[in-house]
Structure 1
Amino acid sequence: MATIHDCSDPTELLSGMRLARKAISRGALVVMPTDTVYGVAADAFNPAAVQRLLDAKGRGRQSPPPVLIPSLATLDALAEDVPDEVRALVDEFWPGALTVILPARESLQWDLGDTAGTVALRMPADRVALELLAETGPLAVSSANLTGQPAAVTVSEARDMLGDSVDVYLDGGVGGTASSTIVDATALGSGGEIRIVRHGAISDEAIYAAIAAVSDDSTPADGATA
């Protein structure tokens, strides 16, 4: 069975990250800590690796994995358009437990599953995750569990469920118990609104407050013209 690398130990962190990079580059899977629950990761631009991730979880193509990114700059590289409301949300909550669904750039050469031309993006607030993402680029990452089972909050729970389908396990300690909040912003381009599709670590009230601030900023003062 694949070994667990304790990321609190500098030596194990160094070796674990090196092995994780190599695993991602050859299309294998890695379990990594995030600021929420543990995630199982694959190269987002390797269709066979993404399918391997779905197979490991027992998940179909109708449930494509989100993509974790290392920086705000990557958001514009992967999304076709980033409306002001989304920029307000990521400015407020990234890095953090917010996943945003946006139209994906048509030029992207990837296959995440049945996405209908969208991509779910998140920048996690976890040192190990961000370091790995900075070296590998965007990763397709889903919760490190079998479909229908509780999300893993420790690396041991993840290994008990996923076993040898994963090559490298990075142990970042006990994770959070809440998954990220997911918002769908794909309707904004056609005059629609942001919709919360999964309630998670960031409250609905905080999401709506950040969006409302954009509307307030764009409202002309009394006597002013638009």
Structure 2
Amino acid sequence: MSPPEILPDTADGHARAAAILRQGGLVALPTETVYGLAADATGDAAVAGIYAAKGRPGHNPLIVHVPDLAAAETLAGFPDPARALAEAFWPGPLTLVLPLKPGHGLSPRVTAGLPTVALRVPAHAAMQAVLRAAGRPLAAPSANPSGKITATTPAHVLAGLGPRIAAVLDAGPCAVGVESTILAPAPSGTRLLRDGGLSREVIEPITGPLIADTTPGAKLEAPGQMTSHYAPHAPLYLGGQPQPGEIIIGYGAVQGDLTLSPKGDLAEAARNLFSCLHTADALAAARNAPAIRVAEIPETGLGRALNDRLRRAAAPRD
């Protein structure tokens, strides 16, 4: 297989990405959160290609990206709580799980057989340009092998997926660094399905107290709910006493081989999280280290999303 095309963040690059997507190909695209592996959400074969390239289980639904609220309204119903959230936070790092409308036109593979669809309006200018040039909704989970460390740079995408995809649009590192927050709004209350780049403290003035439902039982409702996810090859531990030979990822006053944020800034830590995990995993392999250990992070604001990713990365592997 040929290596993927590297496309520039220019009008020509956006047009080339859109052309590949319209032809059913896979393109890694930047968003403000992480790089997404995009495909035409209306094409069965294109969406099947996402699952194959990532090795993603078929029961794990995908997020569909659209350019604006008007486009989202053609695919799903918007109860009043959902509309308020969309008007407040779109474009941005928020995904809403909503009931599908009849005649939506999406591939059934996108929703993994559910009567709902996860929708997002991304804020990244390059992703917006490609969405508008492609003229169709794009399914785009994170651009990395399923269950492994998320990609926040083109280099991460190439290392993880390489020739399994057609192209990568290179717009540099992502600004937020963790995936979108996922909510399921309803008149009876808003459920939080995944902590992410939009904190609870920002959301709850609109919704009231969120109902946390981030690890469901038998059936997944949204991406990022699998118990083991975001995992490096080396075992990963959170907090506790460092052991000899471990690769240490520090935070704030806790120093290490790497640091999420020397200032203890949660936004900086979010931007650095997955890059630090990629680097720590490479160091662990080079040094034959027994494990990676991450300093404790406060369970507040973006810290909840960071701790969610790290707990899943540390969970027992399937």
Q: Could you state the TM-score of these two structures normalised by the residue count of structure 1?
A: 0.85
SS at match of 1:157: helix
Query: 1:113, CA displacement in angstroms?
Result: 4.4
The residue number in structure 2 matching 1:169 is 168
| 1:42 maps to 2:39 | yes
Query: 1:204, CA displacement in angstroms?
Result: 1.2
Query: 1:39, CA displacement in angstroms?
Result: 0.4
Q: In the comparison of the two structures, how many residue pairs are matched?
A: 202
In angstroms, what is the RMSD of aligned CA positions?
1.3
Alignment partner of 1:88 out of 67, 84, 87 = 84
Alignment partner of 1:121 out of 119, 122, 145 = 119
Q: Deviations over 1:18-76 (max 9, x none)?
A: 22122111111001000100001000000110010011111022112100000110121
Query: 1:184, CA displacement in angstroms?
Result: 1.4
Alignment partner of 1:132 out of 119, 127, 130 = 130
Q: Do 1:41 and 1:139's aligned partners in 2 also have CA atoms closer than 8 Å?
A: yes
The residue number in structure 2 matching 1:221 is none
SS at match of 1:100: strand
SS at match of 2:148: coil
Measured in 2, the distance between the counterparts of 1:195 and 1:177 equals 23
Q: Do 2:95 and 2:118's aligned partners in 1 also have CA atoms closer than 8 Å?
A: yes
Q: Which runs of 4+ in 1 moved over 6 A?
A: none
Q: Deviations over 1:194-219 (max 9, x none)?
A: 1001001111122111124xxxxxxx
Q: Give runs of aligned pairs for residues 1-226 of structure 1, distance below 5 A.
A: 1-7=3-9, 13-79=10-76, 81-109=77-105, 110-111=107-108, 112-136=110-134, 137-175=136-174, 176-185=176-185, 188=186, 192-212=188-208
Q: Which amino acid aligns with 2:130?
A: L
The residue number in structure 1 matching 2:266 is none
SS at match of 1:108: coil
- Structure 2: segments with no counterpart, 5+ residues: 209-318
- Which structure would you say has the larger RCO, counting Cα contacts within 8 Å and 6 or more residues apart? 1
Q: Do 1:106 and 1:117's aligned partners in 2 also have CA atoms closer than 8 Å?
A: no
Between 33-42 and 111-120, the greater mean CA deviation after superposition: 111-120
Aligned in 2, Cα 1:75/1:44: closer, same or farther, shift over 3 Å? same
Query: 1:5, CA displacement in angstroms?
Result: 2.0
Q: Deviations over 1:122-148 (max 9, x none)?
A: 001110000111122210010011111
Q: Do 1:98 and 1:182's aligned partners in 2 also have CA atoms closer than 8 Å?
A: yes
Identity of aligned residues (%): 37
Q: Could you state the TM-score of these two structures normalised by the residue count of structure 2?
A: 0.61
Measured in 2, the distance between the counterparts of 1:100 and 1:115 equals 17
Query: 1:192, CA displacement in angstroms?
Result: 2.8
Q: Deviations over 1:1-27 (max 9, x none)?
A: 1131231xxxxx233222212211111
Q: Deviations over 1:70-107 (max 9, x none)?
A: 0110121010x211111111111110000000011121
Aligned in 2, Cα 1:61/1:113: closer, same or farther, shift over 3 Å? farther
Q: Which amino acid aligns with 2:6?
A: I
Between 147-156 and 17-26, the greater mean CA deviation after superposition: 17-26
